């Protein structure tokens, strides 16, 4: 069973295929984006923000999923699937949305 969990974690850690980059409009005085062009950059931002919010032991329980949402990356932690016949209660993983053009983080919360 542990091989199955390992395979699921590896699949979840692989960068998702990305669509075309968003059209980022120039704003005076700002760096032209996208400043978060890839899932790997989004993962780095997520990791930097999550690190002081949860222990390494707590973070290691979760599988991080990254979804391309067009103009933003949606990142969320979830517990791996339970063994056959098991169930999961709670979870509490961190979720956030990162704007591809600006790098702004929004909708950051702990899932239930």
Q: In angstroms, rounded to a whole number, what is the distance separating the alpha carbons of residues 11 and 1? A: 16
* Structure confidence at residue 25 (pLDDT): 85
Predicted local confidence at residue 18, as pLDDT:
60
The reply to whether 22 falls in a domain is no
Do 8 and 81 form a contact (C-beta atoms < 8 A)?
yes
In degrees rounded to 5, what are phi and psi of residue 42?
Answer: -60, -40
Mapped onto helix, strand or coil, the DSSP state of residue 9 is: helix
Long-range contact pairs involving 10-15 (C-beta distance under 8 Å, separation at least 24): 12/63, 12/64, 12/65, 13/63, 13/64, 15/39, 15/40, 15/43, 15/66
pLDDT tens string, the chain, 112 residues long: the values are: 444 444 444 444 555 556 677 889 888 888 888 999 999 999 999 999 999 999 899 889 999 999 999 999 999 999 888 787 777 676 779 999 999 999 999 999 998 7
How much is the pLDDT for 19?
67
Residue 69 is predicted with a pLDDT of: 95
pLDDT of residue 30: 82
pLDDT at 103: 95
What's the number of domains the chain is made of?
1
Would 94 be classed as within a structural domain? yes
The C-alpha atoms of residue 26 and residue 36 are separated, in whole angstroms, by 15
Count the residues in the chain: 112
Residue 16 three-state SS = coil
Which domain covers residue 44, as residue numbers? 2-16+31-110
* DSSP β-bridge partners for residue 105: 98
């Amino acid at each position: 069973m542990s091989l199955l969990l390992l395979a699921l974690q590896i699949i979840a850690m692989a960068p998702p295929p990305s669509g075309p980059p968003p059209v980022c409009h120039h704003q005076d005085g700002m760096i032209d984006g996208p400043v978060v062009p890839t899932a790997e950059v989004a993962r780095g931002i997520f990791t930097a923000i999550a690190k002081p919010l949860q222990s390494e032991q707590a973070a290691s329980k979760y599988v991080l999923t990254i979804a391309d949402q067009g103009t933003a990356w949606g990142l969320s932690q979830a517990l791996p699937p339970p063994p056959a016949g098991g169930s999961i209660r709670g979870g509490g993983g961190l979720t956030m949305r990162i704007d591809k053009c600006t790098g702004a983080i929004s909708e950051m919360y702990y899932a239930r």
